[in-house]
Structure 1
Amino acid sequence: MPGSSPTPSVSNMQTPVSVSEYFAPPEMATENLSGNKRNYEELKGSPVAKLIASIRKERDETRAERHRDEMSLRREELALRQEQFQAYKMELKLKERKMERMFELMTQKMELQAKKMEIELIKLRGSENNSE
């Protein structure tokens, strides 16, 4: 229907809307020499300066908290990597010992086999000498 829209028009609103409600009065703002940004720092007690200060404080606290969390994670990660490295070193030492034992066993087996072959050779020579 014409005239009945879901959002009320400005003329139908109960309370008047004033732009000044949303912006600081011009006398509170001063021109900053570094650019066109408004500088509310000079008026420390003003609501805008307090709001800006609280926003900055919250931002800095959030940033610091995020940094602390990140550093904590990095420390935990470093500790984990150190543990993994120590475990890897132990694994290498165990493998080295296993290889040394296997080498010793193989050496003993070969020495034993060489002695058996010597005995067999002595027996063969003895049987050849007896048959002559």
Structure 2
Amino acid sequence: MIRVLLLALATLLALPATAQDKLPPAPYAYRQLADPAQEAKAHALMQTLRCLQCQGQSIADSDAPIAGDMRHQVRARIEAGEEPEAIRQQLIESYGDYVSYAPVVNKLTWPLFAIPVLLLVVIALVLRRRLTARSA
């Protein structure tokens, strides 16, 4: 009798966890704007923003709940008349530089841009020195 009660209790406790997996995505996450020009602007911006959960997809392509929330934010703010760059900056401030596919040069990231250029200069100098040494 106790086994049956424990089994019934375990089943009841597991139901909420399985129900969460079957919830449909939030309907506002897929609702498009009525104005095609605004929707095109929003979609172009969404293509340049990274999903924080998927990390390899843009928020336009991701089905993650956070991507749906971000799409909703973008569409609502485009509909309110905000410029895409202002929306991008607000999302970068909220979620960090990682959210944007467009790299930003600042005091922390400048070495990522400078080191490859320096390496190319060093390689060019080494190649030049070797080629002039061979010809002489």
**TM-score bracket relative to the smaller structure:** 0.3 to 0.5
* Greater RCO structure (CA 8 Å; 6+ sep): 2
TM-score w.r.t. length of structure 1: 0.33
Q: Which has the larger radius of gyration?
A: 1
TM-score w.r.t. length of structure 2: 0.32
